[in-house]
Structure 1
Amino acid sequence: MITLDDVTLTFPDGDRRVIAVDHVSLTAAPGVVTGITGPSGSGKSSLLAVAATLIRPDSGRVLIGGPDGAPVDAARLSRREAAALRRERIGIVFQQSNLLPSLTAGEQLLVMGHLGGARDGGRADRAGRGGGRHRVDRARVAELLDAVGLSQHADKRPAQLSGGQRQRVAIARALVHDPDVLLVDEPTSALDQERGGAVMDLLARLTHERGTATLLVTHDLVHRGALDRLVTVVDGRLVPETAGAALHAA
């Protein structure tokens, strides 16, 4: 689970500061895809960056489940501590797949495993579904590539994959360490409608199966059926969900 509690973020603009996120409170529950939408420049990506611990907010808390079940306030962590939390408990999928061109699909995941390192007390361990360290080896890579429908493409490099397939590799890579939180930024922006729908359906299925708390920024509501919940950001503030529903219906 991840909870943003009264989060405010500002950026300098000459002799003043511009508010990007304005006292936002939002919780993403395990096994639920929470979509975040709104006009361009409304603060959606800034909100996601705060959730990802990539930017420290001016005020408020960013609570992420800790190894013992107690939440950790990521807004109070040092840069080193935030980076460790991000590696171990947060999966991030960007608009572009950002795959390394010289590595195969399988190697992309193995490299992420070596960078992040294995961790004890993963969600499976805490729920009593297994014990020991979570190793990122070739068996783990094969499992994840199979989960995203790419088991036959493990040895292909990005140039040999379609845009949708590259995004699937990026999703598998984000899940390498079985994160508590999955943060996704405009996953369909570079895809046609059919491939975008397939990626959205995949994210929904993996979220439900793995119990991940997923926050997904999107401007494309064609695929809103894949979302369990949809919130709207306007001028850095969350619009009440009933008002947001009316906006999307209009």
Structure 2
Amino acid sequence: MIRLDDATLTYPDGAGRITAVDHVSLTGKPGVVTGITGPSGSGKSSILALAATLIRPDSGHVWIGDVDAAKISRREATDLRRDRIGIVFQQSNLIASLTAREQVEVMGELGGHDERARRRLVRSHVEELLDSVGLAGQGGKRPAQLSGGQRQRVAIARALAHEPEVLLIDEPTSALDQERGAEIMELIHRLTHERNTSTLLVTHDLVHRKSLDELLTVVDGKITEHTTQHGASGASAAAAPSAS
């Protein structure tokens, strides 16, 4: 599970500071895809960066399971990302010289407290991961030989290689047409349920809304609306997201 508790983030702005995330509380529950949407500059990406432990909030808490990432060192945050968080960026960011299989296998080479165990874990289920994202038999292809949708599938498999409990995804359909985008969103939804990951997904494209279990709307750094597939909505729902 991932939980932001009253998190605030500011950036320098001339002589003062600008608030990017304003007392945000949210919970990403296991097996649930929680979408985050809002206008450009609303704070969506800053929320995702906090969740990814890439930056630390000015105040509040960022819980990854039982660890408060707002209170740990940079090195400990790096270890936390490597071991418990999977990240899919807006662009697939694949390495041009590596095959799809090698893109996933490289996740076993990131070191850590038990590097050998990590390497064994990743290599033991590379083919299963590629199959799960619809790329069975495509493991020997390099990025230039894959379509945009296939490259994004490789990126998803790579993010899941170390079996993270939290999956963070930034605009996964932005470079895809509507059909391919729908396929990627349905894939994320299925894998989240099958693997019981807590998935936060930033998106501006609500045509794929049916693939989200919950949707948070962010305006000026604040969550203004929280809707679910069951139709419950309202800012009050977002105010107490820790209830499961």
Aligned to 2:45: 45
Alignment-mate amino acid for residue 16 of structure 2? R
What pairs with 1:72-151 in structure 2 (closer than 5 Å)?
72-116=67-111, 135-151=120-136
CA distance in 2, matches of 1:134, 1:92: 19
Q: 1:137 to 1:59 in 2, by over 3 A?
A: closer
| CA distance 1:103–1:75, shift in 2 (3 Å) | same
Letter in 2 for 1:102: S
Query: For 2:46 and 2:14, how far apart are their aligned partners in 1?
Result: 19
Contact 1:182 1:213 in 2 (8 A): yes
Residue 139 of structure 1: how far off its partner (Å):
3.5
Query: What corresponds to 1:127 in structure 2?
Result: none
Which residue in the other structure is 1:8 paired with? Answer: 8
Q: By how many angstroms is 1:140 displaced?
A: 1.0
The count of aligned residue pairs is: 229
Question: After TM superposition, where is structure 1 displaced by more than 6 Å over at least 4 residues in a row?
Answer: none
Q: Which residue of 1 aligns with 2:240?
A: none
TM-score (norm. length: structure 2): 0.90
Task: Render the CA deviation track for 1:101-135: whole Å, top value 9, x for unaligned.
Answer: 00000001111111155869xxxxxxxxxxx9783
Tell me the secondary structure at the aligned position of residue 194 of structure 2. Answer: helix
Partner of 2:25 in structure 1? Answer: 25
Distance 1:139-1:133 versus aligned 2 partners, 3 A rule:
closer
Q: Is the 8 A contact 2:2 2:64 kept in 1?
A: yes
| Identical positions, percent | 72
Partner SS state of residue 240, structure 1: strand
Structure 1 residue identity aligned to 2:24: V
Q: Alignment partner for residue 168 of structure 2, among 183, 189, 199?
A: 183
Residues 40-63 of structure 1 deviation map (CA, whole Å, 9 limit, x = unaligned): 000000000000000111011001
Contact 2:89 2:169 in 1 (8 A): yes
Q: What's the TM-score once normalised by structure 1's chain length?
A: 0.88
Amino acid at match of 2:217: T
Provide the residue aligned with 1:64 in structure 2.
64
Q: Which runs of 5+ in 1 are unaligned?
A: 66-70, 121-131, 246-250
What is the aligned-residue RMSD (CA, Å)? 1.9
1:128 corresponds in structure 2 to none
